[in-house]
């Protein structure tokens, strides 16, 4: 619960630098200044999911090396290699795996 008796220092009209603004907000609670806040419209869109998996260091190094040679990102190369291997292993049609891109 907030201490209603504490005095709230006013927000400066301007900060002389980003460092000064950072110092102010590092030492002040933004919830004490909600009246000075305003709602802004935000538009966002879902661009996809990313998953983290553990791989051995030597595999990661090889992946980075191959990706660099092919001019693609390591994530793109890993996805393509996994998709190919899963298709071979499970007999699933490539179109089914592509739906998860």
Which candidate, 47, 65, 2, 49, places its Cα nearest to that of 29?
Answer: 2
Evaluate whether residue 99 is within a structural domain.
yes
- Give the contacts of 33 (CB within 8 A, at least 6 positions apart): 8, 11
> pLDDT tens digit string along 33-71?
999 899 999 999 988 888 899 999 999 999 999 999 999
Evaluate whether residue 95 is within a structural domain.
yes
Host domain of residue 97: 72-101
Evaluate whether residue 67 is within a structural domain.
no
Evaluate whether residue 83 is within a structural domain.
yes
Evaluate whether residue 89 is within a structural domain.
yes
Structure confidence at residue 20 (pLDDT): 96
Evaluate whether residue 8 is within a structural domain.
no
Dihedral, CA atoms, 59, 75, 94, 86, nearest 10 degrees?
Answer: 30
Instruction: Domain count for the chain, please give it.
Output: 1
Structure confidence at residue 88 (pLDDT): 87
Residue 75 to residue 39: CA distance in whole angstroms:
36
Evaluate whether residue 9 is within a structural domain.
no
Evaluate whether residue 28 is within a structural domain.
no
Structure confidence at residue 67 (pLDDT): 97
């Amino acid at each position: 619960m907030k201490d209603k008796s504490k005095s709230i220092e006013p927000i400066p009209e301007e900060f002389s630098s980003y460092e000064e603004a950072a110092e102010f907000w590092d030492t002040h609670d933004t919830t004490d200044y909600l009246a000075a806040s305003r709602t802004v419209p935000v538009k966002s869109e879902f661009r996809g999911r990313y998953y983290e998996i553990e791989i051995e260091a030597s595999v990661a190094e090889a992946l980075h090396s191959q990706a660099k040679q092919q001019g693609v990102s390591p994530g793109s190369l890993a996805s393509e290699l996994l998709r190919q291997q899963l298709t071979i292993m499970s007999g699933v049609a490539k179109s089914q795996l592509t739906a998860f891109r």
